[in-house]
Amino acid sequence: MSVKQLVVLSGKGGTGKTTLTAALAEQVERTLVADCDVEAPNLYLLLRPRTIRSYVVNVSRKASIDPEICTYCGECQKVCRFGAISGFQVERHACEGCGLCERVCPAGAVSMEEPAGGEIFVGETPYGKMVWARLALGEEASGKVVSQVRMEAQALAVEEGYDLILVDGSPGIGCPVIASVSGADMVLVVAEPTLSGRHDLARVLDTVSFFQIPSLVCINKCDLNEEEAKRIRAECFCRGVEVVAEIPYIEELAEAARLCVTPMDVLEGGAADLLRRLYDEVMGRMGIQSSRPMA
Amino acid sequence: MALVIAVVSGKGGTGKTLVAVNLALALAGEGLQVRLIDCDVEEPNDHLFLRPEIRYTEQVELAVPRVDPEKCDLCRTCVDFCAFNALALAGNRIMVFDELCHSCGGCSLLCPNDAVREESVTIGSVECGSARGKSGSEVIRFCQGVLKIGEPRATPIVQRLKERFEEGAVNILDGGPGTGCSVMETVRGADYCLLVTEPTQFGLHDLGMALQMVQELGVPHGVIINKYIPGGCGVETWCVSNGLQVHLRIPYRREYSLLYSRGLNLVEEIPEWRGRFIHVFRRVEEEVEELLNRGRSTKDGVGNPDRHPIVK
């Protein structure tokens, strides 16, 4: 059986992606979890994986000029479109690593360095294996690190016979998000009923449908603003996107986020039922038989 | 001279937009010249809180290669050169993957057969205009970048936005979440960076990442704690032990969340917040001036004498 991939997104940050991803991970019998929010990786704080192995990845190159060899002809500066070379020195953060300066330098004074882009971690949680990353200081090419996390997760899932990869995505709709969703089977968008939350939801749903991936919506903190919640429901209805769950503001959930404990551990009664329903609905839409270990 | 203050957070949803918009409104209310630039081009939200009148829109374009099959002899020079794998040899033609191209121009420059020319593709837009506060007297000059749907390259739009800095004004840049390239581009070269956090373990963790970023870029910085709960998650202790100034604490109140959810602004609905945001600005201004003075006394010509006073 092929591995299915569910990506949790939000558009707007802070709507509850990571908390709900953890709640899903806790309920599934065995899942591989991948944290693709490499710029602000938080899921490992909740799931507390034990690291099994880690390795450094190089994702970008930076030009460097050897002043001993440089003849100060200025050719490199002339061709660089990123304004990364001035005074015969490279401004590291502006350099995108295209290598054109190296290519045109008549003296061979420019070399391309490959700094560590980040570290990929594989660990063990009570719910299955987990893959996450730490971006190296100053590394900007986060989309490429996201792709590395997904490649590791996919290889691991095939090798160890997982049928589900649960991906915690990043906010926004740009490079890291696109790297997180490409080739996924389903996207779950966590929306919050605020004016900006609704606006951002529309942009992320546009993006997901641009890549022709089916999506589901969960409205989190749905009782914060009933008017906005209504508008979100209408927006989803018009797009033919199903709202699979609505979760009110739950103080215990906020407290769990503050203290970094997994949600299903602290929730009881009706609140826990809501998260169970979310799980059942999402797995049902993905055609995955929900086999809950604790049920 | 322009004063540039960037607002970033690491973690999303901590209140960057809230801080940027309310700071802009508070300063405009004082009669200062303010330009608010929304650099969160993936999800720009400042406009929802200010409802600006957009008077000018410009497309942001990138040059991507187009290969003339008549001239191309499949020598692979372009394919081998491209560091981003935006060109590939497929059968008897060169394929171009626009969204991977960084527009360095190498392929067209290096092609021995002059077969590669460049074509502009639109990746988003920059929109400018102005907004008035609720009272109608304060005026905010406004700019935002909007990334096209499905487009991964956000940074060139931030670069274009940075051309809009206004002399003699306080330029407030609302950055995106995270610490990736477009956020680094937002912060790079700013005079000051406000780091917005919340008292959760996530907020604290990501504040640490944002702090590393601003330190790496050498931008002076201070912290604003939103959804503040006294003692919450040890954020304040953490700030003290890392030598960070906490400029403002915005308490965790349902009333504030509700205002925000409706697109209403703290400084306009609860007037005492006006003074608090102005106070933050005065502290930032002092810090920036002090650093400039220090630069001037240690190194000749570092500080710009025309710079004072930053804001009249």
- Candidates A81, A195, A206; nearest CB to B103: A81
* Residue pLDDT, tens place only, A17-58: 999 999 999 998 889 999 999 999 999 999 999 999 999 999
Q: Report pLDDT for A138.
A: 78
Give me the pLDDT at residue A141, please. Answer: 87
* Backbone angles phi and psi of B287, in degrees to 5: -60, -45
CA A28 to CA A36: how far, in whole Å?
A: 19
Which residues on adjacent β-strands are paired with residue B96? B87
Contact with chain A for residue B97, Cβ under 8 A: no
* A146 bridge partner residues: none
Q: Which of A100, A142, A210 sits opposite B150 (nearest CB)?
A: A210
Considering only CA atoms, give the Rg of chain A: 22
| Direct distance between the N- and C-terminal alpha carbons of chain B, in angstroms, rounded to an integer | 12
**What is the distance between the alpha carbons of residues A286 and B87, in angstroms, rounded to a whole number?**
35
Residue A245 clears pLDDT 50, i.e. is over it: yes
Amino acid B91 reads G
Q: What is the pLDDT of residue B191?
A: 97
- DSSP letters, A101-154, are HHHH-TT--EEEE----EEEEEEEETTEEEEEEEEPTT---HHHHHHHHHHHHH
Give the model confidence (pLDDT) of B39-49 as tens digits: 999 999 999 99
CA distance B35 to chain A (A): 21
Of B179, B188, B262, nearest to A225 by CB-CB distance is B262
Q: What angle do CA A271, A273, A279 make, to 5 degrees?
A: 115
Chain A nearest C-alpha distance from B108 (Å): 11
- Residue of A7, A3, A25 whose CA lies nearest to A179: A7
To the nearest whole angstrom, how far is the Cα of B55 from the nearest Cα of chain A? 21
The mean pLDDT of A186-201, rounded to a whole number, is 98
Query: What does chain B look like in DSSP terms, one character per residue?
Result: --EEEEEE-BSTTSSHHHHHHHHHHHHHHTT--EEEEE---SS--HHHHH-PEEEEEEEEEEEEEEE-TTT-----HHHHH-TT--EEEETTEEEE-GGG-----HHHHH-TT--EEEEEEEEEEEEEEEEE-TTS--EEEEEEEEEPTT----HHHHHHHGGG--TTSEEEEE--SBSSHHHHHHHTT-SEEEEEE-SSHHHHHHHHHHHHHHHHHT--EEEEEEEE-TTGGGHHHHHHHTT--EEEEEE--HHHHHHHHTT--HHHHSTHHHHHHHHHHHHHHHHHHHHHHHHHHHSTTSS-GGG-SS--
**Contact predicate A177/A8, CB 8 Å:** no
| C-alpha span between B175 and B155 (Å, rounded) | 11
Closest-CA residue of A relative to B202 is: A42
Nearest to A189 by CA among A210, A217, A165: A217
Q: How confident is the model at residue A290 (pLDDT cuts 50, 70, 90)?
A: low
Residues A220, A192: Cα–Cα separation, whole Å: 5
pLDDT at residue A292 tops 70: no
Q: Is the ipTM value over 0.90, yes or no?
A: yes
- The count of CB pairs under 8 A between chains A and B is 195
Distance CA A124, CA B214 (A): 33
Choice between A264 and A204, residue whose per-residue pLDDT is larger: A204
Tell me how far apart the alpha carbons of residues B76 and B89 are, in angstroms, rounded to a whole number: 7
Using the Cβ of B124 and the Cβ atoms of chain A, whether some distance falls under 8 Å is answered with no
Q: Which residues of chain A does B198 touch, with a Cβ-Cβ cutoff of 8 Å?
A: 14
Closest residue in chain A to residue B209, using alpha carbons only: A40
Q: What is the pLDDT of residue A279?
A: 95
Return the DSSP state at A16: S
Q: What is the DSSP letter of A66?
A: -
Please state, in angstroms and as integers, the Cα–Cα distance from residue B76 to each residue in B94, B110, B115, following that order. Answer: 8, 11, 12
Helix (H, G, I), strand (E, B) or coil at A51: strand
Asked if B178 and A228 come within 8 Å (Cβ–Cβ), the reply is no
Residues 162-221 of B with CB under 8 A from A: 176-184, 188, 198-202, 205-206, 209, 212-213, 216-217
Residues of B in contact with A14 (CB under 8 A): 11-14, 198
Partner residue facing B258 (CB), from A12, A79, A225? A225
Q: Which residues of B touch A211 (CB under 8 A)?
A: 150
Instruction: Tell me how crowded residue A68 is: count the other CB atoms within 10 A of its CB.
Output: 6
Chain B residues touching residue A93 (CB < 8 angstroms) = 184, 188, 217
For helices A251-259 and A17-27, the axis angle rounded to 10 degrees is: 90
B179 and A171 within 8 Å at the Cβ level: the answer is: no
Look up tokens 């322009």; give the residue.
B2
Instruction: Give the mean pLDDT of A204-220.
Output: 97
| CB-CB neighbors (< 8 A) of A144 in chain B | none
- Across the range A153-171, mean pLDDT stands at 96
- The pLDDT of residue A189 is 98
Q: What angle do CA B96, A118, A89 make, to 5 degrees?
A: 75
Q: In the numeric block, which tokens belong to residue B138?
A: 């304060």
Q: How far is A43 from chain B (nearest CA, A)?
A: 9
What is the token pair recorded at B142? 């406004």
Residues of chain B with confidence (pLDDT) below 70: 1, 297-312
How large is the average pLDDT for residues A85-113?
A: 95
Nearest chain A residue to B233 by CA distance is: A258
**DSSP bridge pairs for A121:** A54, A132
- The burial of B261, by beta-carbon neighbours within 10 Å (0-12 exposed, 13-18 middle, 19 or more buried), is given as buried
Q: How far away is chain A from the Cα of B216, in angstroms, using its nearest Cα?
A: 7
Separate counts of helices (H) and strands (E) for chain A: 11, 13
What pLDDT does B83 receive?
A: 95
